[in-house]
Chain A
Amino acid sequence: MIFDLDIIRELISALFLFMGSFLCISGGVGILRFPDFYTRMHAVGVTDTLAAAMILIGLMLQNPDGLVVIKLSLILLMTLFINPTASHALAKAAFHNGLMPLIEKNKKNNSLPDKKQESEKG
């Protein structure tokens, strides 16, 4: 019975880790491929926290004993607090300082570097 529980735990943990890794990579691709700051921010801000949470939960399941789980949940808690705050502050600062999002009408004057980069990547 205990043996079975261990296998199930391992399986769930692996599932969480897999999802976390997938989210990680999608965020990474997003930050590289998206055309302007705000879309990149979107890619990272959304996936980053969730990916971190997934992986950390996966790790907790790996080793469910005292101190390690506490520390992991501490990290999780902090990630949950800090990441959205940082993203929020960053987006706000960027907007406040006049970085315009890339929308059709100001594509011409704002996104020169991005477009060039896109074409170079080709």
Chain B
Amino acid sequence: MKRGELIESLINIVLLSLLVGIAIAIVCMKDLFAVVMLAGIYGLISASFFVVMDAVDVAFTEASVGAGISTLLMLVVITMTGRTEHPTRHKPLLAIFVVVVTGGLLIYGTFDMPYLGAIDAPIHTHVAPRYINESMQEVGVPNIVTAVLASYRAFDTFGEVVVIFTAGIGVLALLSVVRRRDEDSVIDSINDSMHEQHLILRIVSKMMIPFIMLFALYVQFHGDYGPGGGFQAGVIFASAIILYVLLFGLSTARKVINQTLIQLIAAFGVLFYGCVGLVSLLNGGNFFDYNVLSSDPIAGQHLGILLIEWGVGCTVASVMIIIFFNFAGRKEFQQRNGNLIDNISKKNKGI
């Protein structure tokens, strides 16, 4: 046991040092492509770190989000905005001042903190013991994180779903483009390059896509017993669709996936989650009180968790798809109007 802990802390130190090293490298790099790649690696390492710290659910999410989706989005964006950072650096002194003050304050604050892993730290003695000891009787789900997330603090999770919904709507507000029917043929020619170049890639990916979707379903349902849940499943499902878009082009994907429908599903997910709460309200309990959903409290909890996880999954998957479609669609729009936008930027520079 002792040796295991030693190894754990060694891995801990190595991973954290890698994180610091990458962060420093990001500061120094001027090539935005490299920065984005490093940010992806940063996500991967922090997720490995979360595993070492026993936070498997968090690692799961960070893997799919920090290393996957956010890297992908940044990549799409730098293709639209150019990949070098200008070497100008203004107000480094102010920055250093702010940074040193906040950093110093935090370091000052650390000296009274409980040490890493201390058993008698307040957080291990006050609220958490009930989650660990009682959740099996009260909620009946082996994954305590799921129990807390979906039952004890279901409202936070509702807020989280609304946040992601807001992000989807925000991106829609900022990037959506009114399309005309006749534009599709032009788009096809832009999208073709991937088709012809990478036959092998296409075939392998075609095999992968159904598998990824299946895996998403597994994550969705297995969330009660292992790491995973609606959010992670949603992201994985969305990434299958994204893979499809990457390989077969946006216009093909648009034919398969109706944009309006996706928006409706996103809205539906939020509504569905909320309705679970409303139903328990009507059954005489408090909002999100699953105990009243069924005659047996535990069965009620199970039902409630299952339903809200579905709501989360729907919203997250469709919002991720909305976000990606809008980014990719905007890129396409820019390519079509390439000359026009060049003119605008020239005009701006000229003035």
Binding site for B on A (CB under 8 A): 81-82, 85, 88-89, 92-93, 96
Contact = CB atoms under 8 A, between A and B. Distances in A.
Interface of B: 197-198, 200-201, 204, 207-208
A85 B200 contact: yes
Minimum-distance CB pairs A-B, first 7: A85-B204, A89-B201, A89-B198, A88-B200, A81-B204, A85-B201, A85-B200
For the complex, would chain B's binding face be called helix, strand, loop or mixed by DSSP majority?
Answer: helix
B208 A89 contact: no
A82 B197 contact: no
A81 B208 contact: yes
A96 B197 contact: yes
Contacts of A85: 200-201, 204
Contacts of B197: 92-93, 96
A92 B208 CA distance: 21
Contacts of B200: 85, 88-89
Nearest to B205: A85
A93 B208 CA distance: 21
Given A81-B208, A89-B198, A93-B197, 12 more contacts: A81-B204, A81-B207, A82-B204, A82-B208, A85-B200, A85-B204, A88-B201, A89-B200, A89-B201, A92-B198, A93-B198, A96-B197
18 contacts: A81-B204, A81-B207, A81-B208, A82-B204, A82-B208, A85-B200, A85-B201, A85-B204, A88-B200, A88-B201, A89-B198, A89-B200, A89-B201, A92-B197, A92-B198, A93-B197, A93-B198, A96-B197
A82 B208 CA distance: 9
A105 B204 CA distance: 36
